[in-house]
Amino acid sequence: MRSILSHPICAEAPGWPGNPTYHLERYSGIAAGDCANTFVVHLFNHFGTHFDAPQHYNAAGPSISELPLDTFFYAAPLLLDLPKGAGEQVEPGDLAPYEAQLGRCDLLMIRTGFERWRTENPALYKENGPSLSSRAADYLRSRFTGTMKAVAMDFLSLGCPRNTEDGNKAHRIMLGCRAPGYICIIEDVSMAALDPARLRSAAAIPLFLRGADSSPVTMWADCGDAPTHA
């Protein structure tokens, strides 16, 4: 069974405060006498479920279209339930108990449960969600670069708008600004319906926008019929 993990792209979805979002402009329409329906898509590349390539914070890092294709496919995803509320951070102490599993995974999926506020309280979701602390970013990048390709999260961004200093630092660490190697970032992912015991593989396919630091992704997970075993 395949589960879609990307949120639908729509104008009313929450995005980072102050950033552009999404607008669909009709270019031609059958109702107006044209032969086909076509649109111009105005879409911020950090809106909705999206993939941050190293170039997002690292000027020397690869852009979204320069990453190897296998960066976007995951044969050993790991979903961790780490409950967090508004403004709370994922810390190294939350991750350390799973170190053996983290060393075997190519995609870490962090599920805090905060996704529920995306529809119930969009203002809270975009203004004061959880984040991955710079300390946790350093823990992951220093130990698992080379095996872990990306970290995905069920909240708006790796950093929180209420704590941009630490969020910027976490991005720089993850994306290779301070040491060789990087772990990419997949933000605003829908994970609520996933059963971690049935998770088999996943993928996050971007638009291959030449020169862009990031792109919205179509993301999915393959979930088997029988539970996996550690």
**Strand bridging mode 214-223 / 2-4:** antiparallel
- CA–CA distance from 230 to each of 76, 112, 144, 223 (Å)? 12, 22, 19, 15
| Predicted pLDDT at 59 | 95
Residue 228 has pLDDT above 90, yes or no: no
d(CA 161, CA 65): 27
Q: What separation in angstroms does the CA of 148 have from each of 13, 48, 182, 185, 196?
A: 29, 23, 9, 11, 17
Average pLDDT of the residues of the chain = 96
**How many percent of the chain have pLDDT more than 70?**
98
Quick: pLDDT tens for 91-134: 999 999 999 999 999 999 999 999 999 999 999 999 999 999 99
CA nearest 76: which of 112, 110, 102? 102
CA gap 66, 10 in Å, rounded: 28
Q: Tell me what pLDDT residue 224 has.
A: 84
Cα dihedral sign for 166, 71, 220, 108? negative
Q: Which two tokens stand for residue 63?
A: 């852009």
Average pLDDT over residues 65-83: 98
Per mean pLDDT, which range of 200-204, 216-220, 221-225 is the poorest?
Answer: 221-225
pLDDT (0 to 100) of residue 190: 98
pLDDT tens by residue, 141-158: 999 999 999 999 999 999
**% of the chain residues with pLDDT over 90:** 95
Domains of the chain: 2-6+49-223 (3.50.30.50)
Separation between Cα atoms, residue 190 and residue 115, nearest integer Å: 7
Model's pTM, two decimal places? 0.95
